[in-house]
Amino acid sequence: MNKMYHQPWELVQNHIRGKGGREIDKFRGVEPAVDYDAGSEAWIGSCTHVGNPPADKPYYGCSEVVLPDGRKMFLFEAVNEAPEEILGAKHIAKNGTGMGMLIKYLDAQVQYGLQCHPTRPWAKKMWNSDYGKEESWFVLGARDDTKEPAYILLGFKEGVTREEWEKYYYADDLKALENLCHKIVVKPGDAFFVGGGCPHALGEGCLVIEVQEPADITLGAHPWNALNENYRKTVDEQLYNERLLGAYVYDGCSEEENLKRWRIPRKVLRSGDWGQECIVIGPGQTKFFSFTELNVKGETEMRKTGFPQVGIVTEGSGKLTWDGGEMEISKAKELFFPVDIPNFRISGDVKIVLCNPEGVEF
């Protein structure tokens, strides 16, 4: 057994694409905290590159890791050194040698565009992709200098039909399309599930952890003729519209029902005098990924899942220990946990989000 593959690994922090990123810097304790032209996202523990990556950055979006022996490389390269030892046989059978999930920070300096993502059947039919893009949001914070409180657009209003959606879509009337969706004011600690086919947009001011399927298929709510000329050359108009309009699930509901459907209350998984671990998103929402929040005020074991995990420290500080080693952890630390870490424990006054791929059971 190579001990290097049986202890936590520290992930290298990044920024990628999109206007924003100041709140990610603030969360990480980076000074000065600034907004970037391409930095509103950070991909964490990622073995997935962005769709159509730049020619000079073929792995754009993939995470780097610093191994215990000091080497720095892409996470997927490290995993490929000993896949079964690092990921475990159950994970490989279910998810292959990828992570089977994708975790991000999203920081909306301006509202993200109204969009949806495909279900797995639609993704398979239209892109021959094994993954759709169900996703979830865990609200970390909000900007204090926006015109209105942080919000999201999520879910169709009651009675919205495909015909009505298409009318405003072909007119490229974005405001009318947004008005067909529920607008929800959010606060830190809120958790939302975003099902395949559900219209949504992260509103101005939101800082969230996003946990999702490991795909980068996004369908913005703009018709083909409103796209830039270079992009139009890459895709047929009829195919583009069919992919997009067919991806939405037109099953709107009332505001009350919409919140019941998509805003998810925590469920206690385990607790003790050391604190508690709660399921934030789990099998009640999707089988494709899950994550918990572990709140420790003392010491406890790290629950064994039979799968690797990605951890993000969201508050406080503490220590990870295992046979033969220890690691200090503090807010904003990003970590990869191989499947088998002997006698793995956590102590301190600390909160950590633990992200799980498809296959983990509770």
pLDDT digits (tens, 9 = 90+) for 204-261: 999 999 999 999 999 999 999 999 888 888 889 999 999 999 999 999 999 999 999 9
- Neighbouring CB atoms inside 10 A of 19's CB total 15
Q: How many angstroms separate the CA atoms of 229 and 257, rounded?
A: 41
Which amino acid type is present at position 254? S
Structure-token pair, residue 247: 């991806």
Q: List, for the chain, all residue ranges whose pLDDT scores fall below the cut of 70.
A: none
Q: How many angstroms separate the CA atoms of 238 and 223, rounded?
A: 10
Q: What global pTM score does this model have?
A: 0.96
- Which domains occur in the chain, in start order? 3-262 (2.60.120.10), 267-357 (2.60.120.10)
ω into residue 338 within 30 of 0, thus cis?
A: no
Q: Is 83 helix (H, G, I), strand (E, B) or coil?
A: helix
- What confidence score (pLDDT) does residue 64 get? 98
Is residue 10 within 8 A of residue 66, CB to CB? The reply is yes
- What confidence score (pLDDT) does residue 1 get? 79
Is residue 12 within 8 A of residue 38, CB to CB? The reply is no
Q: Strands 181-185 and 72-74: what pairing?
A: unpaired
- Neighbouring CB atoms inside 10 A of 277's CB total 21
- What confidence score (pLDDT) does residue 231 get? 84
- What confidence score (pLDDT) does residue 101 get? 97
Listed residue (5, 187, 207, 215) closest to 131, CA to CA: 215
- What confidence score (pLDDT) does residue 44 get? 98
